[in-house]
Amino acid sequence: MSDKPFALSIKVVIRDEADRCLLLRRSASSKGNPGKWEFPGGKVEAGEDFDAALLREVAEETGLTVSLHRVAGAAESEMPTRKVAYLILEGRLESGQVRLSSEHEDYAWVAPHDLLGMDLVEQFRPFAQAYGQQPGQP
């Protein structure tokens, strides 16, 4: 058993009308994983429903409105003071144009089978590999 507490972070694979997935590149000044690509999302605040937290994070990071559809997977990472469990949902773009917050410096719409071609944050690589190989992925 770990002596580090777990924190919950939620992410979403946002699919557009062409079934591409949205990735965000972390700012070069980010203290964690600068310049790496990740899925939108973030921490759940105390007392906050995780789906409401995810919709809030997506709006803050991208300016987009999305609908959430299913659990797509999970990931985990270990930090100096805690472990982070990631719940990854799949959603659809409903409206909006991407407007990045200061946390990110770029975005890309990527086909699911091309996710591993991006310089992803390490803890999301196993998920991206499995996700890109699911039946029915373009």
Q: Where are the domains of the chain?
A: 6-132
CATH code assigned to 6-132: 3.90.79.10
Q: Which residue has the tokens 């091309």?
A: 114
CB neighbours of 59 closer than 8 A, spacing ≥ 6?
Answer: 65
Whether residue 137 is predicted with pLDDT greater than 50 in this model: the reply is: no
Please check the confidence at residue 32 and state whether its pLDDT lies above 90: no
Termini Cα distance of the chain: 40
| pLDDT (mean) for 110-131 | 95
Does residue 128 carry a pLDDT above 90?
yes
Element (H, E) at 59: helix 50-62
**pLDDT given at position 79:** 87
| pTM summary value | 0.92
pLDDT, residue 133, reads: 84
Which residue in 96, 127, 103 sits closest to 40, CA to CA? 103
Q: What is the pLDDT of residue 136?
A: 57
Q: Provide the pLDDT for residue 138.
A: 44
Q: Is the pLDDT of residue 71 over 80?
A: yes
What's the CA gap between 11 and 40, in Å, rounded? 6
CA distances from 89 to 10, 25, 75, 80, 138 (A): 8, 19, 11, 26, 18
> Mean pLDDT for the chain?
92
Q: Is residue 45 over pLDDT 90? A: no
- CA-to-CA distance for 8 and 10, rounded, in angstroms? 7
